[in-house]
Amino acid sequence: MDLFAPSHLLVLLVIVLVIFGPSKLGDVGGAMGKAIKDFKKAMNDEPEEKPVVKAEDTKPLDNKVS
């Protein structure tokens, strides 16, 4: 039995329409589309290079206890 048979998708669409209503369905679809687009954009962005800190760039800490 196929998981995404047309009859299953039709029943799912009816359930979603009953829960959200036709007016909210457009808003939910738009929000989902924007979220997916932003996620794909974030996945394709190049990761930023982290700066490398060398030992000579740092100064020693004072270990004095007050």
Reported as a single tens digit per residue, the pLDDT across 30-53 is: 898 999 999 998 888 766 677 777
Closest listed residue to residue 29, CA positions, set 52, 13, 51, 5: 13
Look at residue 27 and tell me whether its pLDDT is greater than 60. yes
Average pLDDT across the chain, whole number: 80
Ramachandran region of residue 60, left (φ > 0), alpha (ψ -120 to 50) or beta?
beta
Tell the residue number behind the tokens 């962005």, with chain if given: 45
Report percent pLDDT > 90 for the chain.
14
Look at residue 64 and tell me whether its pLDDT is greater than 90. no
Least confident range from 7-16, 28-37, 50-59: namely 50-59
Measured distance CA(38)–CA(33) in Å, rounded: 9
Structure tokens at 60: 């020693």
- Cβ partners under 8 Å of residue 17, min gap 6: 25
